[in-house]
Amino acid sequence: MRRLLSALILLTSTGIAVPAATAFAATSAGPPGPQRFGVRLLDVPLSEKDNPRGLRYIVDYLPPGQVIHRRILVKNEESQTARFTVYPDAAQIAGGFFTGDAGETRSELTSWITVQHPTLTVGPGQSATDMVTITEPLGATRGEHYGEIWVQQAAPARESGGVSVIERARVGIRIYLAVGPGGAPPPTNFAITSLTGLRSASGRPMIVAHVLDTGERAIDLSGQARPTDGPGGASRARTQSRRSSPSRPGRQGT
Amino acid sequence: MTFAPGKLLPDGPWQANVTLVSGFTVVSVQATVQFGTHRASLSLWARLLIILGATVIVIVLASALARRSLSRRR
């Protein structure tokens, strides 16, 4: 069994101080609906402990027949007891976005996933842990599989204009699971193929980096840009981009 | 990946230093960029006026042609 680093990070009760890796859902004020809640990974492989992606998502490379376990922490941020459902869903990367499919869509990856507690009841301000187990069959298809573990809350049905409306909110943890023969994991790499300067319609200067995923795994980009040696030797402070911009192997994007 | 360094930045040229990260992989590049002059785009009303004007011209021309062909037949 793989060595796991148990990385329990305490969540504070305020949304502001919650670690960035926690995914949260909230709905606007109004009639009683889903509450504010969040989910994060508790277990990270030692090999991924310094990898920002590994801390945030389930990222792994396994030969067929392996089993991995990941604990997740579900935090109820509201003042009422809440009931959550936890389930796997298919996902895909397209157009620079990692998107979970609608509802509870099945895929080859989701058929390998079990959740220890498909429903959780969590008291106000409390948290609960759940266990996600991924059992790869011997005949698993080689390559990288994408999925999502959703934590969902559904509000009681309410009438609106003669129609019964059920409001659902869900937050998830992405899964990037590569299946291969074992040994060294397939390479993750990318190249910046060009840098372009332009001005938007509102006159705002933009630097656009075109990226080609040259590895065999998906990438999630973040980064920074700094214009230097401008007119009169001017330099500007670094501009950070926190936007995650996923890309699949062999795909180009900006 | 798109960066917006600040609205008051002159056109340049500038040396753009960009570093991108995905997990353990870090890639940095440097290139000369020019932000160029902003080309004013037409407002929605201006576009609608142009479309309306073009439509009116087409209708006028079509009706003129129709009258001409009718008068020839007579």
Nearest CA to A220 out of A253, A251, A245 is that of A245
Query: What is the SS3 assignment for B7?
Result: coil
CA distances from A196 to A112, A206, A210, B6, B69 (A): 43, 8, 8, 16, 56
Distance from B63 to chain A by nearest Cα, in Å? 40
Give the pLDDT band (50/70/90) at residue A145: very high
What is the model's pLDDT at position A20?
A: 32
- pLDDT grade for A122, boundaries at 50, 70 and 90: very high
Which tokens hold the place of A86? 């936890």
Chain A residues within 8 A of B10 when measuring between CB atoms: 230-231, 234
Task: Identify which of B5, B52, B67, B65 has the alpha carbon closest to the alpha carbon of residue B33.
Answer: B5
> Does pTM surpass 0.80?
no
Report the pLDDT value the prediction gives residue A75, as an integer from 0 to 100: 94
Q: What 3-state DSSP class applies to B41?
A: coil
B positions 7-46 inside 8 Å of A (CB):
7, 9-25, 27, 29, 31, 33-38, 41
- Determine the pLDDT at residue A240: 66
pLDDT of residue A24: 62
Q: In angstroms, what separates the C-alpha of B55 from chain A's closest C-alpha?
A: 27
Cα-to-chain-centroid distance, residue A151: 12
pLDDT(B40) > 50: no
CA distance A83 to chain B (A): 34
- A59, closest residue in chain B (CA to CA): B23
Distance CA B70, CA B74 (A): 7
Q: The tokens of B36 are what?
A: 């160029």
Tokens of A4: 């796991």
Indicate the pLDDT class of residue A165, thresholds 50, 70 and 90: confident
Most B CBs within 10 Å, among A190, A229, A235, A244, to test the B interface: A229
Which of B12, B18, B38 is closest, CB to CB, to A209? B18
Looking at chain A, the whole-number percentage of residues with pLDDT higher than 70 is 79
A185, A144 in Cβ contact below 8 A? Answer: no
Pairwise pLDDT comparison (A247 vs A11), residue with the higher score: A247
Q: pLDDT digits over B18-32, tens only? A: 999 988 899 999 999
Q: Which residues of B fall within a CB distance of 8 Å from A188?
A: 22-25
In the structure encoding, which two tokens stand for residue A169, read together? 């909110």
Nearest to B3 among A51, A231, A241 (CB): A241
Distance from the A37 Cα atom to the nearest Cα atom in chain B, whole angstroms? 27
Q: Residue A244's pLDDT band (boundaries 50, 70, 90)?
A: low
Rounded to whole angstroms, the Cα distance separating A76 from A84 reads 9
Which residue of A54, A190, A209 is in closest CB contact with B25? A190
Per residue in B3-20, pLDDT (tens digit) is: 988 877 888 789 999 999
CA dist B41 and B29 (Å) reads 32
Report whether the peptide linkage leading into residue B13 is cis, meaning its omega lies within 30 degrees of zero.
yes
Give per-residue pLDDT as tens, A4-17: 444 333 232 222 22
**Are A226 and B6 contacting, i.e. CB atoms less than 8 angstroms apart?**
no
Query: Residue A30: pLDDT above 50?
Result: no
Residue A209 to residue B4, Cβ atoms within 8 A: no
Judged by CB atoms closer than 8 Å, whether chains meet at B35 and A226 is answered as: no
B22/A207 CB distance under 8 A: no
Cβ-based burial of A135 (10 A; exposed 0-12, middle 13-18, buried ≥19): middle
Test the B interface: residue of A53, A60, A192 with most B CBs within 10 Å? A192
Mean pLDDT of A129-157: 92
Rounded to an integer, what is the distance from CA B63 to the centroid of its chain?
33
Q: Quote the ipTM score.
A: 0.71
CA distance A49 to chain B (A): 11
Paired tokens of A217: 């795994």
Residue A181, amino acid: P
pLDDT tens per residue, range A166-220? 888 899 999 999 999 888 888 888 999 999 999 888 888 999 999 998 988 888 8
A230 contacts B10? CB cut-off 8 A: yes
